[in-house]
Amino acid sequence: MLEEMTPEDKYFYLYLLTNPHTTQIGIYRITKKQMAFDLGYSIESVQSLMERFEKHHQLIRYNPETRELAIKDWGKENLQKGGKPVMDCIVSELKEVVDPSLIQYVSESIHKQEIRELYESFYQQNATHIEMEEKDVCIENDALTTPYTTGEQNEEDEKDVCIQFDDTLTTRFTTRGEKEKQKEKEKQQQKDLYPSIENNPHIENPSLSNPKNDDVMEIMEFWDVNGFGFTNVNAKEQLLSWLDNSSFLQPKEMILKAMKITCANNKRKLNYIVGILKNWENESLLTVEEVESYDEKQKQYRLSTDSFPAGRAIPREFEFDLSAGEDG
């Protein structure tokens, strides 16, 4: 496929893979105007490149209504490893996707089974809810357009209409009712998303790990914003593994502290961060407070040693005479 691309195509594709809007799941929101601004192209040029990549290369899909872009081979190149932190991050980002067809589009190229199943479950539960909402709309429209009859039937219909639109008798059009309906919808989404969680223990229910989800998102946001590498998925996975596989009492805070030190020293590499974390573990420094206290003690020690000069002190009255001891 790359052999068929022009230099301009390669440049545009590299931008789609590495721009600041990219996500872990290969689906992100971006406007054509933003692309034109970042690349220095006209909107017409961006439109032409988008059509070429959608119809000729068939590497992307773009929804102009939701302004979401999906990269077809993202999963093949970037979703090779799983693990709880990565799965949590994927779940949180899939929740933000508006067009479920893009989820199915990306999932077709994912080789790792547990991640592909996660994508498919999101697509299926979104498709199910869309069908249910369409049925609800049809039922409501039928209720509103039902013709009235005369006599007793007419009176019964009038009562039904009054009950349907009386906001004191139904929660359909009240704030409380909307909240209850939203809660039920969220519960149903969890059931649809994890229909066989007993048979698939490798898939974690995100409702049970929201705090960890927030930790993952905060670390990944710091990583992306501070230039550690948007598409370096393997490095992200290794860093996130410290959330579960370390002895720190505050793993998220310790990781962020190490990343800040890395930025301050202009050493934006995973090995540098891991080296800092390992040193802290070796010194049994398990919280940020302990690290800061240790650094302060080290600073005071250096100051105390620098205040004493090396060697023996020479009296001020001493004068160095090269001719001393020689005969005249």
User: Is residue 82 within 8 Å of 233, Cβ to Cβ?
Assistant: no
Mean pLDDT, the chain, whole residue set: 76
For the CA atoms of 298, 304, 309, 315, the dihedral, rounded to the nearest 10 degrees, stands at -170
- Domain ranges for the chain, please list them: 210-306
DSSP string, 193-224: HSTTTTT-TTSPPGGG-HHHHHHHHHHHHHHH
Q: Which has more confidence, 225 or 58?
A: 58
User: Is residue 20 within 8 Å of 230, Cβ to Cβ?
Assistant: yes
Most confidently modeled of 35-49, 112-126, 240-254? 35-49
Nearest one of 87, 80, 91 to 122, comparing CA atoms: 91
pLDDT for 241 beyond 50? yes
pLDDT in tens, 144-174: 554 544 455 555 554 454 444 444 433 333 4
Strands across the sheet with 27-29, in order? Answer: 27-29, 68-71, 60-63
For 152-177, b/e burial (b = at least 16 CB within 10 A) is eeeeeeeeeeeeeeeeeeeeeeeeee
Phi, psi of 27 (to 5 degrees): -130, 125
Nearest one of 202, 213, 274, 207 to 245, comparing CA atoms: 274
Pairwise CA distance, residues 318 & 328, whole Å: 22
User: Is residue 26 within 8 Å of 78, Cβ to Cβ?
Assistant: yes
pTM over 0.75: no
Across 63-86, average pLDDT? 87
Pairwise CA distance, residues 197 & 114, whole Å: 12
